Amino acid sequence: MAMSTGGDTTDKPMSDINTTPLVDVMLVLLIIFLIAVPVVIQSVKLKLPDVRFDPTTTKPENVSLSVTTAPDGTCAVYWNTTRVTHEELLTRAVDKLKAEVARAGGIDAIKSNPDFELPEAHIRGDVAVPYQCVGATIYTLQMAGFAKVGFISEPPPGQNVTRM
């Protein structure tokens, strides 16, 4: 550390910079970051699924729903191309599942046939639709008894579709 003794009588600016406070501040910041980073990085270990864009195989028994916003701002749900309320959606979904069970020969026939699959519900949601509309539709289908509810999406144009 340098110290001026006052022996030089010329009036010129001092060109020495005391870097000790700068180094002290940098060391304190380094210690703070070394302590804080592990706290921020903590996360739950997950195995995320691999993303695939598989073409949807539509079976005749599957239900195709479209969810959008009506011009008045309310939720609009369409069963194929027919607009339905949530009460009508529940009734139609229950009737659809009952018809499929009856067509398969009843509950006992379904239990004895491991290859039998109940119909699925495929939802196409508009980009601008509020989540509450889609959530209410999913909830209604679950109340009706649908075990599989999927979303139909469209990959962005020009994106390469790869199979894994």
- Identify the structural domains of the chain with CATH numbers, from first to last: 63-151 (3.30.420.270)
Please give the single-letter amino acid code of residue 125. G
The β-bridge partners of 149 are: 121
Higher-confidence residue: 5 or 120? 120
Tokens standing for 112? Answer: 């004895």
Asked whether the beta carbons of 151 and 125 are under 8 A apart, the reply is: yes
Lowest mean pLDDT among 13-17, 74-78, 123-127: 13-17
The SS3 assignment for 137 reads helix
Return the pLDDT at 46. Answer: 59
Instruction: For residues 101 and 107, give the distance between their C-alpha atoms in angstroms, rounded to a whole number.
Output: 6
Return the pLDDT at 5. Answer: 60
Return the pLDDT at 164. Answer: 47
Instruction: For residues 108 and 101, give the distance between their C-alpha atoms in angstroms, rounded to a whole number.
Output: 10
Q: What is the pLDDT of residues 11-31, one digit of tens each?
A: 777 777 888 889 999 999 999
- Tokens 């379904």: give the residue: 110
Higher-confidence residue: 140 or 160? 140
| pTM of the shown model | 0.60
Return the pLDDT at 29. Answer: 93
